[in-house]
Amino acid sequence: MKLLVIGSGGREHALAWALLKSPRVSHVYVAPGNGGTATMDKVTNVAISDPKALVTFAQETGIEMTVVGPEAPLAAGVVDLFRAAKLKIFGPTQRAAQLESSKDYAKAFMQRHRIPTAAYQTFTDPAQAHAYIEAQGAPIVVKADGLAAGKGVVVATTVEQAHQAIDSMLGDGSLGAAGARVVIEACLVGEEASFIVMADGKHTLPLASSQDHKRLMDGDQGPNTGGMGAYSPAPVVSDALHERIMREVIEPTMAGMQSEGIPFTGFLYAGVMIGEGDDATRPIGVLEFNCRMGDPETQPILMRLQTPLVDVVASAIDGQLDQQTLQWDPRTALCVVVASAGYPANPRIGDEITGLTAADNNSEAPHDKASRDHVVTFHAGTSLDAQGRLTSAGGRVLGVTALADSVTQARSLAYETVAKIHLKGAQYRTDIAWRALPS
Ligand code: AMP
Ligand code: GLY
């Protein structure tokens, strides 16, 4: 069976790697892929990003199923186009993807369906937005309505910062159309977890819990990024909290989408803020919905998945997710992101990357219960040049992901591998999973 994965990041490298674990899968095409997928057995990168051209490619190549990684093609309607051409694809339709592509849509939806989230208002008029900030005070959160590649959220600790964010988004148009409308919402406090499920429009199957690190620097300092590391499981998501998130967030979201005639298919990621207290009563609130898997959360989650991913995706496309149960490796998987100099504001690209061994980019890594601890280095912003040199091609360059018996061991193993990698000006956090370490 030939499959197509759309996207070019660490998430897509991990998707291709996990899909290939099944002998049913003969080949995976990745569009456009990266330097890691370029060197995998049974994988071919395809330099196509236009959704219509992807449909033609899938038809001509005999692709049996397509999995979409990032939000942009989903928001552009790639699922609708594939379905219209009778091609199997896993992801939400353009309308369903609004849960991510419009914060205002997501907030209004949550309010209609009584899904816990921070109080908010939406503005297009700067004067009204400024007045609302004055009335609410700080801390307060300003969010561009549209997709802004991780740059659309300002968690303002002072009213001045919030006013500046309004001036920049609504006044100067710094984010273009994405920032022409803003959501201003109350600041929630607590610990964030990434809660990701697969949905087929009728049934929902939760994936293992995970947590990522959004800030650039150790101690959760510095600017927000796409994610500097992640681990699974996230100890904060106890069984009791898992049930609450399913009952209070995921089930009403799926039921609400269905009742509004927009059944959700694909991966749904709820970023959940978990406040203080005991698990039965502590506050939980949705910070955001993403209509895709997280990056880098996918890398540790898929390292732990023992059920063949291709089987689960096939069931989901056929509306039969209720026939599937997922088996997880009980160990901890932990991913350390190696980013380029200047990330996130101005990532420098084109630097050579050395120190990776073939085993680090391993499509054949042991993946059963009895297997040893191991590391896989998933590529993100990398490319292979004509001479076969691996160079940096984006902000987040590599995701070194280790699987081991404990958080401590997984962390040591990941950092031992990171230490062997050479990339000029590389940035990485040295405290990934600090919240999960034994105290
Ligand atoms: P988003 O893209 O909406 O997930 O926002 C990016 C990050 O900003 C989140 O992962 C949180 O760390 C932070 N954030 C977003 N909304 C809030 C909020 N209402 N309160 C506190 N932090 C928030
Ligand atoms: N790691 C956060 C995200 O994928 O949105």
Q: CA 345 → CA 72, 184, 339, 348, distances in Å?
A: 20, 23, 12, 10
Locate the ligand 1 atom nearest the alpha carbon of residue 186 and give its number. 19
- 257 alpha carbon – ligand 1 mean position (Å): 23
The answer, yes or no, to whether any atom of ligand 2 lies below 6 A from the CB of 100, is no
- Can you tell me the distance from the alpha carbon of 317 to that of 240, in angstroms, rounded to the nearest whole number? 30
pTM: 0.96
Amino acid at 362: N
Q: Which residue do the tokens 């001036």 mark? A: 167
- Name all contacts of 77-82 with Cβ < 8 Å and 24+ positions apart: 77/51, 78/6, 78/51, 78/54, 79/265, 79/266, 81/51, 81/52, 81/54, 81/55, 82/54, 82/55, 82/58
Which among 115, 153, 194, 292 is the best mutation to test ligand 1's pocket, defined by most ligand atoms within 8 Å of the CB? 153
Axis-axis angle for helices 159-166, 126-136 (nearest 10):
170
Residues of the chain with pLDDT under 50: 363-370
Atom 12 of ligand 1, residue of closest alpha carbon = 214
Whether residue 70 has a cis bond before it, omega within 30° of 0: no
Atom of ligand 1 nearest to the CA of 150: 2
> 322-341, pLDDT tens digit by residue?
999 999 999 999 999 999 99
Q: What is the DSSP letter of 235?
A: T
Q: What φ, ψ does residue 62 adopt, rounded to 5°?
A: 75, 40
pLDDT per position as a tens digit, 255-311: 999 999 999 999 999 999 999 999 999 999 999 999 999 999 999 999 999 999 999
Instruction: List pLDDT tens digits, range 51-103.
Output: 999 999 999 999 999 999 999 999 999 999 999 999 999 999 999 999 999 99
State the chain's mean pLDDT as an integer: 95
